[in-house]
């Protein structure tokens, strides 16, 4: 482990747990057909995102600028480096996939669209980031006898009679 840490560097090593949760794990959904390698390659090239993901779990609060930067990073995962917002990326991909040919009907293209291939909208991405932050805070405190873990309610979860469930939108 020490050799791997030394080779990767502190910043990238610290960001890897958050990248694992962000790109899909037992606790969060995957980005369809993106896997783990593509997010890792994008992360290796982006020191700002390394810093941001490396700070996940340190605090309950998330900086809006960090959320925007992760949104841009998410757009990059979908091959849209010039787009800063996941909502814009969703629209761009949708338009690319559904742009009708002159001879075909408009609905024929929409029927073949798999919505799972679109990036998440900004509200869903925000909820995912809350969950990533929460999981990272649990992992950072795993060695403590009395862990200082934030309340799940502050991390996009709500307590119901069946346990904790995802809180989607207000």
pLDDT at 95: 85
pLDDT at 79: 93
Q: Are the C-beta atoms of 48 and 69 separated by less than 8 Å?
A: yes
pLDDT at 16: 96
CA distance 29 to 103: 38
- The burial of 77, by beta-carbon neighbours within 10 Å (0-12 exposed, 13-18 middle, 19 or more buried), is given as buried
Per-residue pLDDT of the chain (170 residues; tens, 9 = 90+): 899 999 999 999 999 999 999 999 988 889 988 999 999 999 999 999 999 999 999 988 889 999 999 999 999 999 999 999 999 999 998 888 777 666 555 555 565 677 788 899 999 999 999 999 999 999 998 888 887 777 777 776 676 777 766 655 55
pLDDT at 111: 59
CA distance 10 to 35: 23
């Amino acid at each position: 482990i020490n050799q791997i840490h030394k080779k990767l560097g502190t910043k990238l090593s610290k960001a890897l747990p958050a990248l694992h949760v962000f790109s899909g794990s037992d606790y969060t959904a995957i980005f369809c057909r993106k896997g783990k390698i593509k997010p890792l390659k994008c992360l290796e090239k982006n020191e700002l995102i390394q810093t941001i993901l490396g700070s996940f779990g340190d605090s309950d609060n998330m900086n809006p600028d960090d959320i925007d930067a992760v949104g841009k990073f998410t757009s990059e995962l979908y091959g849209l480096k010039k787009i800063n917002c996941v909502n814009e990326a969703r629209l761009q991909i949708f338009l690319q996939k559904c742009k009708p040919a002159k001879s075909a009907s408009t609905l024929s293209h929409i029927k073949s669209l798999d919505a799972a291939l679109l990036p998440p909208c900004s509200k869903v991405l925000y909820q995912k980031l809350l969950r990533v932050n929460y999981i990272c805070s649990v992992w950072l405190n795993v060695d403590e006898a009395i862990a200082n873990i934030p309340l799940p309610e502050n991390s996009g979860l709500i307590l119901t009679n069946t346990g904790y469930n995802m809180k989607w939108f207000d």
